[in-house]
Structure 1
Amino acid sequence: MIYRHHIAPPRAFTQFSHDLIRHPRLSSDAVRLLTWQLSLPDGAREPLSRTAERARIGACAFTRAKRQLKEEGFVHERRLQGPGGHWVTQQLVSNVPLSAAEAAKILARMPVHVSGASASPQLAPSARVPAVGAPTPPPTDGHPEKDPGGNTSHPPAEPDATAPGAADVPEAARALVAALPHLSPDLRRIPRGMHDELARLVSRWLTAGHTTGAIRTHILRGLPDDGTPVHRPGGLLRYLLRDVPPAPTPTSSAPTAEQPAPARPSSRLAALRECEGDHVQATLFRPTGDETLCRRCLNSPPPVASRCAPSPRQRTVIA
């Protein structure tokens, strides 16, 4: 049996409903975080994370408690851009559950506060001590006496006459570049400004004799296969297509100088024939006609029957 004794506090107290304190889906940390926030003065702008630190609520418990309060409608928050371009997060804490529309109406009436530490004040330029002497006007003598082109440390780059222009790029190269986003998900974000450059690189491969299928296979082999995301697909394609290897030559079945035909046997060996007799190793002989056995096999006697061979059956006649 349990007994309860309480005395109404004369000051510094906050009234909460039983539905809030005994909420079945709120943990003790969520109830403590909510009641602590509701007990703060009206002008306090303390965020939920600071309240969790003061209430000795850990990071994981705070995340779980905040999620429960947002799911039940006691906490709402939104991000918006305040004065000066700073992004701020507004949090609304209520003692009764609110819908998203009701919370949006309340937050729309609230002023946007930006902390003074995050704002960067602009200071007016201070007065400077003028330099000694009168100001000197810039020289206006006209052009220099000689051409300084030879003394220029960084002369302008000469245009490459061999580089193909936009009009020289074949339509097949442009079509291949336009279809690259469909080749792999890693190539979906190719910048539009790089299509002409990539088309010129592809045209070099086509001019060297490579087919469009070979170019696609080369690009697919260069993509990461371990799940690494490609943040700059245009730069990766420029790297893969920068060097053009020689096109593979078609293989031919005719013998070439590098692969000589198999040598024919000499005329002496061509006149020999392999004996079909019983030999341990293959035996060659020179036939005089159409015989298939060598002289040794022809002169050897026929094999003798084995002693263990079964004798023919004899019939016994009984009169």
Structure 2
Amino acid sequence: MYVQGLPESCASEALSDHAKKIGIKGRAYQRAKGQLKEAGYVHEWRWQGQGGLWMTDQLFSNVPLSDEEARRLRSANAQAEPADRSPAGGQASTRSVGPSQPSVEEEREENNPHPPTEAPAAEAPAVEAPATDAPAAEVAGPVAAADPDVAQAERVLLSLRHANPQLHLGVREARSLSGTAADWLRRGVKASELRQALVNGLPPEGVRSAFGFVRHRLVQKLPEAPAPIAPVATVRPPVTCEGGGPEHVFRPRADETLCGPCAQQAAEEAHFAKWPPRRPDEDVEVPERRPWRERVTAVLQAGAEAP
């Protein structure tokens, strides 16, 4: 409401400058602008103007606009606007960036020395894609539908802008990093866990290059590959037990020839075979049992009689 009520002479100022005038700075400004961008009220484009200076165009509307609608409105305003006239209120404003560095609380993407993350409008000069190790066909071509991990990884990378505006990646940037991010998914990492690993613990001074920061984290924090699963033991076919009794079969674990009950019975028979039974006519001497008092007295007497 404050920005929409400003006169036309204030349209060239950045949103961060307007926010400072009403006491919104630092994280509070970034959070508010991120919510407005997600809802479709704020749109931004970064492009390189004459002299090598990077420019940021900001469009603030009083109704939600899709990316395509905002791009068409920006293009129409740029064509209708005279060259020697400041932009009218509500139109896309342009702010040139000088050599000075912004403060910690200021939105850093207004003075970002890196190439823009999205393709600018038709009147802006073309910007080369960031240098990557991926082949050109992978960067510019469509997502490989044959690999669902790569497609899911690209969706996760594009969703980082909603978790934190500092990690705003363009389509070409996300596609060039999707192969590396897919390695996380192939190693058992869930999509939500991959997103948290990329957005948690951002540096306090802010992220200057979303592409470089995400690529560094994808490479440096790549989890270890899961250990190979041991092969399942082959199930042996049933065999006939060689023990006594009725004929029956069992499934051996190795090279057994007896089932469990028959093997236990054979072990008991082998044990008792070492101790032959006593004959009925065999005399067994049973020691005399005396009370313990008498046994103690006998022991004491034997000790006293000993020399």
What TM-score results when the alignment is normalised by the length of structure 1?
A: 0.28
